[in-house]
Structure 1
Amino acid sequence: MITTALGMRDDKAVYAAGAVVWRLVEGKLRVLLIHRTKYRDVTLPKGKVDPGEMLAQTAVREVHEETGIRVFLGVPVGVSRYFMRPKRQKVVHYWAAEATDEAIRSSTFVPNSEIAALEWVSLKKARKCLSYPVDLEILDEFERLVDDGVLRTFPIIVLRHAKAIGRSDWEMSDASRPLTERGKKQAAAIVAPLRAFGVRKIITSDAVRCVETITPLAKALDRKPVETGRISQDAWEEGRSDARAVIGKRVRSGKPALLCSHGPVLPDLLTELALATGTMHGSYLGSASALEVAAFSVAHLSATNPGSGIISIETHVPKL
């Protein structure tokens, strides 16, 4: 299993993100290479993080800007590190990302001053064409997923609500505590990173701070969230929460889903996800559930056999 934490960064490094974009053509796997005009090289689509962006958001944006193809991110496939002049390290995070037929048809790509051409090739040809050894290392991890039969996946995302007014500063019920101004900014900032994973279903604790956290995302997706007391902190404290039922339904559905809850409830959600998918317990569960406010963990499951275990889990932490 791949476990990744994407939050703390070295201020001296330059960060970027991209994807190994793939598709099936008459049952045969093809990956997308870009031929860059200025550098006269062949590489994978990627680009530098814009101010205020989270890495997943960057990956999706850069793929679209360079290829015209809109994708959702699948499993992480590694990080490349190399030095730029003058001795400044560049760190590039990659994900696998399937390009649907519809997304390819909708692409408006034309050769330009940055990208001279796009090319769909086999893995064997990609190895011959790629200009840089670091890209080959990313392709190695991608090919491992192919060999394991777990390339097509869906995510279940566990999100801790954004910053809320403290209990000591609130005279009404705990469940009615709203977000602070910082919390509202956090809720807005995580919309694009969450959309990068193709969220289709939103389930949230019925506490106000959770509902307010997912409201900007729900509006952006034009989807009505499901509010439930089964994953609320009140229910957890009273011993009547039911993380198992909520997680079980999401695993069976096989569709990208987001669950927004509270710090004390998150370990139960991740534990139930491990149980529902037959995944071995380990320290990764504690790391993935020990989230800061507005942070989220993405668990990737096999689309064809979700009971085969969590393939990868990654944690994203907003800067705000």
Structure 2
Amino acid sequence: MTVFAAGAVCWRFVDGKVNVLVIHRTAHRDISLPKGKVDPGETLPETAVREIAEETGLAVTLGVPLGVTNYTMPNGREKVVHYWAAEATDGAILASTFLPNGEVAALEWLPVKKALAALSYERDAEIVERFRMLVDEGVTRTFAIIALRHAKATPPYQFVGPDADRPLTERGRGEARSIVPSVTAFGPEKLYSSTARRCRQTLEPLSKSLALPVKTTDAISQDAYESGESAVREMMGKRVRKRVTSVVCSHGPVLPDIVREVALATGTAPAATVSRAGDLPVAGFSVLHLSVDRPGSGIIAIETHVPNP
């Protein structure tokens, strides 16, 4: 059986230069990137954030996905590890309570080139090489727009009243709760919802968990979209200009427009990955990663997460 794991290239500025974090592992006597196995019921983003905290004492949020490594462990099982970039803020470093232990003997911040030379495994170096491409392109600091489709709602044929009043089903309420850890891993600071009840209910658990208010707007509602009165372009342009990680919860027909407008606002070249990012199942979301310093340089990466069946 394949073992799944997740980790990150944690980075920070030291004297104006990007440094990355490597860990010296106690038992393995090697130098690697922080990572760990997925616990039952966890999502990969949730695992990455938890493992970083456990191994390094750093509370981080995830940035750009850096790819996957795949190798066979000594016991013959295959291991697949997903990595992200993750900035370690000054506050996170000051708050770290790391002490050497039986798993990690030491933490070391190194310039990217020195980290590449220090790592014990070529597979780790390949992930850091991908991170170095972001550094070289000047797009290391990122924020995200998270396009979220509302969870499962009561079907129209089972509901009497305006379409915008349709509530989530019991399954939908469970989906709304289940997405909280995954979305939280990307550090949203603003929550926006269509005025429809099913969208507002989808964001309720996330709002409660993060202690963030939900701002509702007709700009991304299905009613406004169908009547030709939506204001998706204006809203997404503003979200790009603000450069703050935001969740935007809307509807199946509207989400492709939301993604398309983010692409247009950032000068992103047309691509199949962009068009697919708006085609989401209920409770699915796409994370559009954008540069803080160069938002006009296009969408840096897109990742899509769907609920477990």
Do the two structures share a fold, i.e. TM-score over 0.5? yes
Cα deviation, residue 313, structure 1: 0.8
Cα deviation, residue 169, structure 1: 1.2
Cα deviation, residue 289, structure 1: 0.8
Please name the residue that 1:287 is paired with. Answer: 276
Please name the residue that 2:98 is paired with. Answer: 109
Higher relative contact order (CA 8 A, sep 6+): 1
SS at match of 2:286: strand
Cα deviation, residue 285, structure 1: 2.1
Please name the residue that 1:55 is paired with. Answer: 44
Cα distance in 2 for residues equivalent to 1:70 and 1:26: 22
Please name the residue that 2:61 is paired with. Answer: 72
Q: State whether structure 2 residue 32 is matched by structure 1 residue 43.
A: yes
Asked if 1 retains the 8 angstrom alpha-carbon contact of 2:146 and 2:288, the reply is yes
Q: 5 Å matches for 1:148-167?
A: 148-167=137-156
Amino acid of the residue matched to residue 249 of structure 1? K
SS at match of 2:300: strand
Q: State whether structure 2 residue 282 is matched by structure 1 residue 311.
A: no
Cα deviation, residue 191, structure 1: 0.9
Please name the residue that 1:29 is paired with. Answer: 18
Cα deviation, residue 86, structure 1: 4.5
Cα deviation, residue 85, structure 1: 4.3
Cα deviation, residue 88, structure 1: 2.5
Cα distance in 1 for residues equivalent to 2:271 and 2:17: 36
Asked if 1 retains the 8 angstrom alpha-carbon contact of 2:274 and 2:302, the reply is no
Q: 5 Å matches for 1:147-296?
A: 147-296=136-285
Asked if 2 retains the 8 angstrom alpha-carbon contact of 1:54 and 1:318, the reply is no
Amino acid of the residue matched to residue 239 of structure 2? R
Asked if 2 retains the 8 angstrom alpha-carbon contact of 1:17 and 1:46, the reply is yes
Cα distance in 1 for residues equivalent to 2:109 and 2:43: 28
Q: State whether structure 2 residue 126 is matched by structure 1 residue 137.
A: yes
Cα distance in 2 for residues equivalent to 1:200 and 1:234: 27
Please name the residue that 1:9 is paired with. Answer: none
Cα distance in 1 for residues equivalent to 2:254 and 2:266: 19
SS at match of 1:310: coil
TM-score, normalising length: structure 2:
0.98
What do you get for the CA RMSD once the two structures are aligned? 1.1
Structure 1 gap ranges (5+): 1-11
Cα distance in 1 for residues equivalent to 2:203 and 2:272: 28
TM-score, normalising length: structure 1:
0.94
Cα deviation, residue 120, structure 1: 0.8
Please name the residue that 2:89 is paired with. Answer: 100
Cα distance in 2 for residues equivalent to 1:317 and 1:84: 28
Cα deviation, residue 290, structure 1: 0.9
Cα deviation, residue 26, structure 1: 1.2
Please name the residue that 1:5 is paired with. Answer: none
Cα distance in 2 for residues equivalent to 1:294 and 1:229: 20
* Larger deviation, residues 206-215 vs 166-175: 166-175
Among all aligned residue pairs of Structure 1 and Structure 2, give the percentage whose two residues are the same amino acid: 58
Residue-pair matches, total: 309
Cα deviation, residue 166, structure 1: 1.0
